[in-house]
Amino acid sequence: MPELPEVESTRRRLVPSMVRARITAVDLRRPDLRGPFPRRFAARLTGQTVNALDRRAKYLVASLSSGETLLMHLGMSGSFRTLPDGPARRAEALDPHDHVVFHMSSGRAIVFNDPRRFGMMELVAAGKLARHAVIGRLGPEPLSSNFDGAALARACRGKKTSLKAALLDQRVVAGLGNIYASEALHIAGISPTRRASILATASGAPREAAHRLADAVRFVLEKAIARQSPGTYRDDRFLVYDRAGERCSKDGCSGVIKRRVQTGRSTFFCPVCQR
């Protein structure tokens, strides 16, 4: 499943073709994805200019000149690609899993492909995004200035859940997924099984571990974004993820990576250097 770095990489690739360009036509090649497309979806998009393309957690957020917001999620297998557009190109055969095509005034066609059809596209009315059922409940973006050790400590103060579970709580940090939560905890040298409350003092002030973990979250995400390539959702350079039974990669550590299940998800960690 695409995680935050893949979504951010997708956003950056789409910006040159979409932002400040007008949507000249929309081809819907089926009536639904995860759910039905919004009422008059193609008609409401046609003629609108994309003023900005942002990311919120794992959602792509396109701000339209109509005031509406096009909210898109890749689901489990969704991806975008861009093609040269024009009358001659529109007649070319598309992949059976190419479900939506946005034709842009930039001369590019933006194609959404989703074999498993767990992706989502939604139109949010002007001024309603902050009250959206999902977007309105999200915590701080891990790559924003609003996310630091103090913010992480405030969110985890008094929590009895594990640190790994807390990091996957979208109200604590928006968009962080299973892979990068494990990676960040390893870099920070903190056990995923410890209570989330260890990050804060009784008054809610951040402990040193909170700053260390917030920095590690930012580091693993920025590193992952930097090495993304189109269509690549796996990377063999993970430090602990999917490496059970292998030696820990930290200098001087004699530990062996272990796997355990937490809240239904696989956690990978080093029992020696993660305390």
Q: Which of 34, 154, 265, 271 is catalytic?
A: 265
Catalytic, 265? Answer yes
Kindly give the pairing relationship between strand 108-113 and strand 98-104.
antiparallel
Exposure pattern of 146-168 as b/e (b: 16+ CB <10 Å)? ebbbbbbbbbbbebebbbbbbbb
Find where tokens 């959702």 sit.
233
* CA dihedral (156, 73, 34, 179) positive or negative: negative
Q: By the 8 A CB rule, do 98 and 111 touch? A: yes
**Dist CA 155 CA 139 (whole Å):** 9
**Dist CA 13 CA 195 (whole Å):** 38
Catalytic, 3? Answer yes
**CA 226 to centroid of chain Cα atoms:** 14
**Dist CA 269 CA 248 (whole Å):** 9
Catalytic, 222? Answer no
Q: Which of 2, 5, 142, 206 is catalytic?
A: 2
Which among 19, 30, 6 has a CA at the least distance from the CA of 78? 6
Q: Which of 56, 58, 159, 164 is catalytic?
A: 58
**Computed over its alpha carbons, how large is the radius of gyration of the chain?**
21
Give the C-alpha distances (Å, rounded to integers) separating 77 from 7, 81, 101, 233, 241. 12, 13, 17, 9, 20
Catalytic, 58? Answer yes
Active site members: 2-3, 58, 265
